């Protein structure tokens, strides 16, 4: 079984999503019947991508997907849930406390504000197109660290379009990986980008007098 001995904890998390998650607008009511196959299992299937005791930053964590799921199924990971919106960050902290996930830290903020921190892995699910996402997240990876961006069926096309940006950011390699659980048949497509050992342009201080880039709230 996908969750193995951690299934009871995963059930408690699913109950939180179906209750407080819906009431606070983090999960749509129509998503409740498919929480397991579309959300929890979809995130859990990528758990084998991480090395033992790795540090993970889940950017734009929202309701905790995939960050909380990974922390449940891989308690050896040290997970940071990074979320800029107060109501989501509040839910995440309540979920972490309620589930007893002592290895998880909730940080309210944006990826751009965390530069200087270095993680083995950075994850993201349904946050932004890959070209923009890479600019926010690769500076959070240690040299040789990995961005794991969970994407849908258009993952390959999105990766192709983002290749010029990945080169500019100093990434050393990138590929689409498919993770699948047997015999369940649950699958997930992940764009994996390996960070280089040079400072990405987006991590450098803005020169005095240079224009700021306008961005929408994510």
| pLDDT tens digit sequence for 17-59 | 999 999 999 999 999 999 998 899 999 999 999 999 999 999 9
- Position 186 scores a pLDDT of 82
- State the residue for tokens 């758990």: 47
- Position 164 scores a pLDDT of 96
CA distance 125 to 58: 9
Beta carbons of 121 and 54 less than 8 angstroms apart: yes
> Three-state DSSP class for 66?
coil
| Nearest Cα residue to 49 out of 196, 148, 174, 126 | 148
For the domain 4-196, what is the CATH code?
3.40.50.150
Residues of the chain predicted below pLDDT 50: 200-218
In this structure, which long-range contacts are made by residues 62-67, counting pairs with CB atoms below 8 Å and at least 24 apart in sequence? 62/26, 62/88, 62/125, 62/126, 63/17, 63/21, 63/26, 63/27, 63/88, 63/91, 63/92, 64/13, 64/91, 64/92, 64/95, 65/39, 65/40, 65/125, 66/123, 66/125, 66/150, 67/104, 67/123
Beta carbons of 70 and 77 less than 8 angstroms apart: yes
- Position 181 scores a pLDDT of 81
């Amino acid at each position: 079984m996908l969750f193995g001995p951690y299934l009871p904890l995963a059930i408690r998390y699913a109950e939180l999503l179906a209750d407080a998650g819906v009431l606070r607008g983090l999960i749509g009511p129509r998503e409740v019947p498919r929480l397991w196959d579309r959300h929890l299992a979809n995130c859990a299937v990528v758990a084998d991508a991480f090395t033992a005791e790795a540090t993970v930053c889940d950017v734009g964590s929202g309701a905790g997907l995939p960050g909380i799921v990974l922390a449940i199924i891989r308690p050896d990971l040290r997970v940071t849930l990074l979320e800029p919106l107060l109501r989501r960050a509040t839910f995440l902290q309540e979920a972490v406390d309620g589930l007893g996930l002592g290895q998880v830290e909730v940080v309210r903020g944006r990826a751009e504000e965390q530069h200087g921190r270095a993680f083995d892995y950075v994850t993201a699910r349904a946050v932004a197109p890959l070209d923009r996402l890479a600019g926010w997240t690769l500076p959070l990876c240690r040299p040789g660290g990995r961005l794991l961006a969970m994407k849908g069926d258009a993952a390959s096309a999105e990766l192709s379009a983002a290749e010029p940006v990945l080169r500019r950011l100093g990434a050393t390699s990138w590929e689409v990986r498919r993770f699948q659980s047997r015999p369940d048949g649950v699958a997930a497509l992940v764009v994996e980008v390996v960070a280089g050992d040079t400072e990405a342009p987006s991590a450098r201080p803005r020169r005095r007098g240079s224009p700021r880039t306008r961005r929408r709230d994510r």
